[in-house]
Amino acid sequence: MNQYEALYIIVASSDEESIKASVEKFKGIVETNGGEVTAIDEWGKKRLAYPIDYKTEGYYVLMSFTSAPEFPKELERNFKIDEAILRYLVTRKEA
């Protein structure tokens, strides 16, 4: 099992319930694929450095988790198909 961090940006124009649902959705994806979420740090709404799809604000979430080495590719696939996600980055943490 490796340690990873996923930083993703949710569309800020979403209501609070849909933001919470997105956070829970990705936490659930990690857990159903045999991983364990160690921390979720919600940074909240922040101004983007540059407009993405004509949006200037995003809701930032940093999720730390452990999983098998094959799983981050599946997580990235789920980030890509979710329209509420503006950007994402999954990185492996050194032990």
User: Residue 40 is part of a domain; what is its CATH number?
Assistant: 3.30.70.60
Q: What is the pLDDT of residue 70?
A: 95
* pLDDT beneath 70: ranges in the chain: 95
Contacts with 13 (C-beta within 8 Å, 6 or more apart), sequence order: 55, 57
Residue 82 · residue 22 · CB < 8 Å: yes
**What is the pLDDT, as a whole number, of residue 77?**
96
pLDDT score recorded for residue 14: 81
Number of domains comprising the chain: 1
The pTM score is: 0.93
Which residue range(s) make up the domain with 72?
2-93
Q: What is the pLDDT of residue 91?
A: 97
**pLDDT for the residue numbered 9:** 97
